[in-house]
Structure formats: structure tokens, C-alpha cells
């Protein structure tokens, strides 16, 4: 009887572990910015993402001409091309909520004070492969020197960037965004996961399962309505990147 009791407890623990592992998790796209007083890729959007919890907060990184890593989605902010600008040209600019355009270091300084979520660092494709590689090395250097490598996942549309990240450290958690490689190709190239647009994964409905069978993580972007969220949850996707983390959290609870 005692052996049966112990075995039952073991099965219960295993089931809970499996459920926790397979549970779809939330990534806040550009932080949780769709909230009063916040803005995309802002410090407040990171703090909001930390408050709501989930797996991580995604952010977009560019490198300036003088080597400062700055957060912004587009290649320019208020008409200033970030990769061609000096940081001094950007430091006085303000986001729509009045915050300064943040640097990666400023973001890290906030993130490292907590242990609830990871940073999902998207390194943006720059205008040359040399600039891509320069940006990748600069980002890794700042992250490693800040001592937060274990709380960072990397993503990019650029193969140059992804290959450089894997070359720098094969243990880097690197996921590819462009959607033009099969799970088998990603595995062979040393990727940690795929991170594809929702329409790409709907057109290739076997890729989530194939990726999982190969030991790759699976992420989908950018999913903002209930129908799509429910679809990808039903497919067993590991992560959903969304502009509406509160809605997704409600579905998962």
C-alpha cells in the first residue's frame, strides 16, 4: 500500500511537471505598452510586463554610429536614422509618454532587479552584414558584462545576426523570425527555436509539432485576438507574443 501511495505521488508530480512545461507562456510584444501612460519599448512598458508576469518582455535594439545600443522598433525615430546617428542626436528625443528613448543598458538596469520575466532581445537587421555583426557583438557584450545572460533570449530576422550569436556561444538561446526555414533546417543550423508570424505557422500547420519533436522551442507573433490565441494554445505552442498580455493571461488561467 505504501509503495502504491508513493507511486501515486510520483505520477502526480510528473503530471504537474509536464503540464508546467507544456503550458503556453506569454511574451509581451515591445513590453506591455498598451496601457495608460506607457509606450512601446519604454521603461514603463518593461515594468508593466514585469507586473503582469509571463515568460518575457520583447524589445527591439539598434546600434548607433558611436556604438550605443538604443531601443526602437523602426530604423528611425522622429526622422533620425538610428544606425547613422550619434547617441547625442537621440538622447533628447522623447517617446509618446514623455520618457526618453531608452538604451539597452537602462533597460537591463531595471530588468536585473527582478527575476519574474526574461528579456527577449530582438536585434534589428542593419544596413550591411558588417553592421549586423557589429550590433550582435555589442549586444552580447553588454548583456554578458551585466551578468544577465541567463535571463536573455535572442531573436532576429537577420541570418547574419543569428549566425553570429550562435558562433559567439552555441548555448545562446537564438530563435529565427523570418519564417523561411523549416524546423529541420533550424535544428541543423544550431538554433534554439523558431519564432514565426501567425500566418506562416497557419500555412505550415505541421511545423509546431515538427519543431517540438526536434527539441526546438516554438513562438508565434503577433497574436492579439481570442480566436488566434485559442488556436495556438490548442496547438501546444510554447510562447505567444502579443500586444495584449492581459487578455492572453486571462485565457491561460
33-38 contacts at long range (C-beta below 8 A, 24 or more positions apart): 33/243, 34/243, 34/244, 37/97, 38/97
Give the domain CATH number at 139.
Answer: 3.20.20.190
Is residue 5 in a domain? no
Judge whether 125 lies within some domain.
yes
Inside any domain, residue 32: yes
The pLDDT of residue 59:
99
pLDDT digits (tens, 9 = 90+) for 176-196: 999 999 999 999 999 999 999
pTM given for the model: 0.91
What pLDDT does residue 227 have?
Answer: 99
Decide if 242 contacts 229 (C-beta within 8 A).
yes
Q: Can you tell me the mean pLDDT for 126-142?
A: 99
Query: Does residue 113 sit within a domain?
Result: yes
6 within some domain: no
Q: What's the pLDDT at 13?
A: 43
Residue 225 lies in a domain: yes
Query: Is 20 contained in some domain?
Result: no
Q: Indicate the number of domains in the chain.
A: 1
Residues 160 and 213: their CA atoms lie apart, in Å, by: 26
Query: In this structure, is residue 137 part of a structural domain?
Result: yes
Average pLDDT, the chain: 94
| Residue 50 belongs to domain spanning | 27-252
Mean pLDDT of 203-224: 99
Amino acid at each position: 500500500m505504501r509503495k502504491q501511495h508513493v507511486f501515486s505521488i510520483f505520477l502526480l508530480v510528473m503530471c504537474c511537471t509536464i503540464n508546467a512545461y507544456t503550458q503556453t507562456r506569454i511574451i509581451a510584444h515591445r513590453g506591455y505598452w498598451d496601457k495608460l501612460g506607457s509606450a512601446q519599448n519604454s521603461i514603463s512598458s518593461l515594468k508593466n510586463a514585469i507586473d503582469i508576469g509571463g515568460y518575457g518582455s520583447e524589445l527591439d535594439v539598434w546600434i548607433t554610429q558611436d556604438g550605443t545600443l538604443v531601443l526602437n522598433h523602426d530604423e528611425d525615430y522622429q526622422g533620425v536614422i538610428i544606425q547613422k546617428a550619434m547617441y547625442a542626436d537621440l538622447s533628447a528625443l522623447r517617446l509618446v509618454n514623455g520618457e526618453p528613448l531608452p538604451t539597452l543598458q537602462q533597460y537591463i538596469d531595471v530588468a536585473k532587479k527582478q527575476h519574474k520575466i526574461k528579456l527577449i532581445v530582438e536585434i534589428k537587421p542593419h544596413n550591411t552584414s558588417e553592421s549586423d555583426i557589429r550590433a550582435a557583438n555589442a549586444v552580447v557584450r553588454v548583456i554578458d558584462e551585466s551578468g544577465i545572460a541567463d535571463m536573455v533570449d535572442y531573436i532576429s530576422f537577420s541570418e547574419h545576426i543569428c549566425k553570429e550569436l550562435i558562433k559567439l556561444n552555441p548555448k545562446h538561446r537564438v530563435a529565427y523570425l523570418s519564417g523561411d526555414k523549416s524546423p529541420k533546417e533550424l535544428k541543423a543550423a544550431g538554433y534554439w527555436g523558431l519564432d514565426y508570424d501567425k500566418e506562416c505557422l497557419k500555412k505550415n500547420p505541421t511545423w509546431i509539432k515538427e519543431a517540438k519533436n526536434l527539441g526546438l522551442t516554438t513562438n508565434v507573433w503577433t497574436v492579439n485576438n481570442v480566436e488566434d490565441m485559442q488556436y495556438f494554445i490548442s496547438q501546444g505552442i510554447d510562447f505567444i507574443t502579443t500586444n495584449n498580455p492581459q487578455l492572453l493571461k486571462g485565457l491561460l488561467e
